Structure 1
Amino acid sequence: MAIIASLVQLAISITMFPIFLLRFLGLWDRVCKRLFPYFMVQFTENYNREMSAKKQELFSNLQDFAGSSGKVALVEVGCGTGANFKFYPPGCRITCVDPNPNFEKFLIKSIAENRHLQFEGFIVASGENMHQIADNSMDVVVCTLVLCSVQQQEKFIKEVHRVLRPGGAFYFMEHVAAEPSSWNFFWQQALRPTWQLLFDGCDLTKESWKALEGSSFSKLNLQHLQAPLSWKIVRPHIVGYATK
């Protein structure tokens, strides 16, 4: 099956040759960074509709991690368009981190639509290097549909651990690799190079649970599930939170 997947992968890549050529010439990344937020506006609207119950369940105990002020100091890494804002508790103090500066105008719109939150600022940075955020300063860190595009997941998780205060929590909801013997995994492999190119580095075959299981969090609540999504290829998910 692996050989067939490689052949299909090659055929798809040949079909997408013009985009691969733009990438080789150093032009595609700039185009993708500008266009990707527009795609994410529509995608996250659909994703939220299909995953609303799962998100509500995931974030239902967020308030339990509030600091002494009674408000949750939260940093969302890979914040994108602000798709998670409506699921956060009132008074939540949000710091947004994303490596793509083109998300900012969409983020501001989401903040305006979620007056129950207190917006602290937008930082253009990768999750692997959040040096602008002090050690032990956050009650909660959130990332959803982010780890798939993180090349150094262990470094990313160490940064999350660093910025969290003792007793703070890291919440995640991520699509991951399917079972290796499944047809879904076959198509994940076949589409992987083209998918990464079109969707800003998203890797369909990431086994993100392994980095979480190998982390230094004191407690890990992690669930594997088949998400109720229209796009079957991204249905394999991990959902949960880890406590420092």
Structure 2
Amino acid sequence: MDALVPFLQLLVLLLTLPLHLLALLGFWQPVCKTYFPYFMAMLTAKANKKMEKKKRELFSQIKDLKGTSKKVALLELGCGTGPNFQFYPPGCKVTCVDPNPNFEKFLTKSMAENRHLQYERFVVAHGEDMKQLADHSMDVVVCTLVLCSVQSPKKVLQEIHRVLRPGGLLFFWEHVAEPRESWAFLWQRVLEPTWKHIGDGCHLTRETWKDIERAQFSEVQMERQPPPFKWLPVGPHIMGKAVK
């Protein structure tokens, strides 16, 4: 089965040759950075309808951190358009980090629609280097559909661990690779080189659960779920929390 992958990758490359040429010449990235927020706004709205119950259940645990007067300092990493804001409990102080500055206008709109939150700031940065954020400054970090597209999941998780206070929580929801011996995994390998251009660096074959389990959290709770959209090549999802 492995022998088929290079042949099929070449076939897909030929079928999508203009896209790869634009990327090679450096013209595609600016286009992608502009259109991608609109694509994500549409996709995450649909995903929220399918995942609403699970997301409410996951993020309801943030209330357990909240004292009588203390507000929860929450960092959303790879915040995108802010589709998770509606699920956070009242009073959270939200800091957003994303490497794409084109998301800021979407965040402004999302915050205007979620007045129960306190919007701190939007930081343009990659998850591997969040030097603008102090050590132990966050009670909660949220990371949804992010670790698929970063350069180094390991470094991002190290940064998350750094900014979380002791006892702080990481909430995650990520898509991961299909089982290695499956035909679905073969097609993920075939499509990945092209999909990374379409999905702004998104990898289809990452086994992200391994990175989270190795990231020196004191406790990890995780469950696997089927993908919300069968028409996309992304595989099953993992959802859960990790305790520093």
| TM-score bracket, shorter-length normalisation | over 0.9
- Where in structure 2 are the equivalents of 1:28-107 lying within 5 Å? 28-66=28-66, 69-107=69-107
Provide TM-score, normalisation by structure 1: 0.96
Letter in 1 for 2:242: A
Give CA-to-partner distance per residue, 1:216-236, whole Å, 9 cap, x none.
Answer: 111111222223433363241
Q: Give the aligned partner of residue 132 of structure 1.
A: 132
- CA drift of 1:68 comes to 7.0
- CA drift of 1:165 comes to 0.5
> Any stretches of 5+ residues in structure 1 without a counterpart?
none
Contact kept, 8 Å, 1:50 with 1:229, in 2: the verdict is no
Rounded Cα–Cα distance in structure 1 between residues aligned with 2:67 and 2:138: 9
- CA drift of 1:50 comes to 1.3
Contact kept, 8 Å, 1:229 with 1:235, in 2: the verdict is no
Q: Give the aligned partner of residue 11 of structure 2.
A: 11
Q: Give the aligned partner of residue 150 of structure 1.
A: 150
Letter in 1 for 2:25: L
- CA drift of 1:209 comes to 0.8
Contact kept, 8 Å, 1:51 with 1:229, in 2: the verdict is no
Provide TM-score, normalisation by structure 2: 0.96
Letter in 1 for 2:151: Q
| Pair 1:54–1:6, CA change in 2 (3 A) | farther
Partner of 1:79, secondary structure, is coil
Aligned positions, number? 244
Partner of 2:148, secondary structure, is helix
Letter in 2 for 1:64: D
Letter in 2 for 1:29: Q
- CA drift of 1:67 comes to 5.8
Give CA-to-partner distance per residue, 1:107-161, whole Å, 9 cap, x none.
Answer: 1011111111100010000111111111001000001000000121111001000
- Where in structure 2 are the equivalents of 1:223-242 lying within 5 Å? 223-231=223-231, 233-242=233-242
> Alignment RMSD, CA only?
1.3
Contact kept, 8 Å, 2:81 with 2:107, in 1: the verdict is yes
